[in-house]
Chain A
Amino acid sequence: MKRARPRLAVFKLASCDGCQLTLLDCEDELLALAERVEIGWFPEATSRRMRGPYDVALIEGSVTTPEHVTRVHEIRRASRVLVAIGACATAGGIQALRNFRPLTEVVSAAYPTPEALVLLDTATPVSHHVRVDHELRGCPIGKDALLAALSALLRGARPAAPAHPVCVECKRRGLPCLEVAHDVRCLGPITQAGCGALCPSFGRGCYGCYGPVPAPCLRALVRRWSDLGTPADDLRRALRSFNAAAPALGGETGEGRRA
């Protein structure tokens, strides 16, 4: 039986809720969107629950427990189109920093009985476990990108994803290059566009919320940052933040990910 309205679901794994909140932050569009879709699963917004299959499912958060692994497969089976939203779902998120250190060391700083926790050693993106149809980058995702993706998917089109770096957005906005003109360390050259060069517009170097562009030229960045007198540890910390489990960053920092 064909449904009158496509069924939408919003799921979460380990995350801060900020990406699904971005949907509720679409104050001007939310009610119109709710008319066009049937919300089948969105526990943060409604107690109403409907079974899958869901025509479009958004998933926020990274996979950090054995239970998440099971769930992410269930979600995949219940979803026609699965969209991973945000840095956690697409690149592990901030919690993926633990991938680079022994888990017990990280856990014991927060929790007195580390052995009692049922956690995976790593926090991994959704695509590490199941096929993902589309990814929205960002920590958090942008409202416009979310609405554009939903609107494309609802008319059966494939959402566009930018592949250019933040630098292009600076040029479009006519912002002077902070790294060249003011010696400010900026991850813009290796970071995927999407934020509209937000940090540079505040006089701050990009810190990489949207994760690496495909094939980032780390060598040029490393050279420029060492010219600016950046200690190696600071460079490593800058590359390991909210998208630390992105494969494009793992290889070239000189230390592979912990097995």
Chain B
Amino acid sequence: MPRTISVPLVTRIEGDAALDVRMRADGSAGVTLRISEPPRLFEGLLVGRRAEEAVDITARICGICPVAHQVTAMQAIEQALGVEVGPAVRALRRLLYCGEWIESHALHVYLLHAPDFLGYDGALEMARDHAPIVKRGLEIKKAGNLVVTVVGGREVHPVNPRVGGFYRAPAPAEVAALAEPLRRALDASLETVSWVAGFDFPDLETDAELVALRYPGEYPIGDGRIVSSGGLDFPADRFEDEVAEEQVLHSHALRASLRGRGPYLVGPLARYALNADRLSALTREAAGRAGLASPCRNPFRSIVVRSLEMLYACEEALRLVESYEPPDPPAPIRPRAGTGRAVTEAPRGLLYHRYDLDGAGLIRRARIVPPTAQNQESIEADLARLVPRHLDLPRAELARLCERAVRNHDPCISCATHFLRLDVS
């Protein structure tokens, strides 16, 4: 029976992390997910920069979800400056964000996660036996990237979004040309849902409180109130009142938990548990065929939820393409002192930004809480629950199962490392 399991480099996640599991004498497992990437100190780098620069700077937190950071930063800064954006800007941002959901979910479902279920080292190895399937995934990913490119200028670190709106509204013909690839991506996403629903899922149930946004009439992406499976319901402005970031002294890592309640989980499982009624009829039918009830608390099944969200995002993007109206150019920004906060649903879950601005329009303080910071404790709790049940497995196989349990949550170490430190004892 293995006493310790060590995975020095967890593969197929964004960024570098290591995993240590130690069996205790009482049969429980002590788990540490170590972040082996150094912090890049964004909150410090933002101090003294112009408020509007945060849109370009925070994109660089993460190459996989730059749009999430850009939209959250813009909305927080608009709140601080008292800038209102109209429905056309909101709709175009939602289209941009849908593109990122499609691209990011397709990356995770096909390239990072699915190889676990089919027993391959990665998607490129999987492609030798399943080329049409991997090509289908790449086709969906490409459609998402195309949306981000047409609206934002390029797929990684878009240049077009700005505080108040966009530098240039895409021409109606450019946007209309997205419909065809999105329709193909929608069909491919439907096939994806049936494909992943047939995988074999290890038993595991998270008991974490599930936290997501909720918005009238829409599956939440760019705005909404924060709600939880435990009955919490508060506006984004109160995020820091409800969420505590604590420093765990032995690990020197900051972890988020709900004040007076404990660890929680954000991301696809939480969104689906709290917003299944907001999905389109098409997506709900696909969920029914896939046999996926809401809530779903098995993190291994998150691949099914991610596929459903990808389907929804394709459908929603198509709707936004068909109803596209070019937004007006934004009004010039007038600096003023104030604080702005925003929460959006990054592909991996809740993302919080806050900026304190001075009268000259400079950032005095910034605070960014990415989804992976919020999920770290729940990921470790999954492992602590999983490992004692599988001690009969050979060590290498158990280590692989542990890696899979980490991958279930699509952790983004690049996002998390602005505050997690390198060496954990």
Interface of A toward B, CB cutoff 8 Å:
12, 14-22, 24-25, 27-28, 30-31, 34, 39, 42-48, 64-65, 67-68, 93-95, 97-98, 105-113, 116-119, 139-140, 195, 198-199, 201-204, 207, 209, 234, 237, 241-242
Contact = CB atoms under 8 A, between A and B. Distances in A.
A242 B46 CA distance: 13
A158 B139 CA distance: 32
Of B40, B49, B145, which is in contact with the most chain A CB atoms at under 10 Å from its CB? B40
25 contacts: A15-B63, A31-B127, A31-B135, A42-B122, A43-B9, A44-B11, A46-B12, A46-B124, A47-B121, A64-B40, A65-B38, A98-B41, A107-B39, A108-B44, A109-B41, A109-B43, A111-B254, A117-B421, A199-B153, A199-B159, A204-B159, A204-B168, A207-B56, A241-B53, A241-B56
Given A44-B13, A45-B123, A110-B43, A65 B107 contact: no
Contacts of B154: 140, 195, 198
A242 B14 CA distance: 21
B62 interface: yes
Contact of A34 (B45, B124, B139, B254): B124
Contacts of B162: 204
Interface in B133-167: 134-135, 138-139, 141-142, 145, 153-157, 159-160, 162, 167
Closest 6 CB pairs of A and B: A18-B63, A46-B122, A106-B44, A109-B44, A48-B121, A110-B43
Contacts of B49: 237
A111 B156 contact: no
B122 A48 contact: yes
Contacts, number: 189
A110 B124 contact: no
A99 B81 CA distance: 30
Interface string B218-240: 00000000000000000000000
B297 interface: no
B247 A140 contact: no
Contacts of A111: 39, 41, 254, 419, 421
A203 B160 CA distance: 9
Contact of A116 (B12, B43, B141, B252): B252
A30 to B, nearest CB: 7
A21 B47 CA distance: 28
B155 A25 contact: yes
Interface residues of B, number: 68
B104 to A, nearest CB: 10
A203 B11 CA distance: 40
B252 A113 contact: yes
Nearest to A64: B38
B189 to A, nearest CB: 15
A24 B111 contact: yes
Contact of B153 (A16, A116, A198): A198
A27 B47 CA distance: 38
B51 to A, nearest CB: 12
Contact of B11 (A43, A116, A199): A43
Nearest to B43: A110
B66 A109 contact: no
B152 to A, nearest CB: 9
Contacts of B215: none
B53 to A, nearest CB: 7
A202 B160 contact: yes
A202 B167 CA distance: 6
Nearest to A34: B124
B50 A234 contact: yes
Given A14-B40, A39-B124, A95-B40, A118 B155 contact: no
Interface in B396-422: 403, 414, 418-419, 421-422
B11 A16 contact: no
Given A45-B123, A140-B157, A203 B38 contact: no
Given A24-B107, A109-B44, 14 more contacts: A18-B66, A21-B64, A25-B155, A48-B121, A98-B45, A109-B41, A110-B42, A110-B43, A110-B44, A116-B421, A118-B422, A207-B159, A237-B50, A241-B56
A30 B138 CA distance: 9
B15 A17 contact: yes
A101 to B, nearest CB: 8
Contacts of B12: 43-47
A112 B247 contact: yes
A114 to B, nearest CB: 10
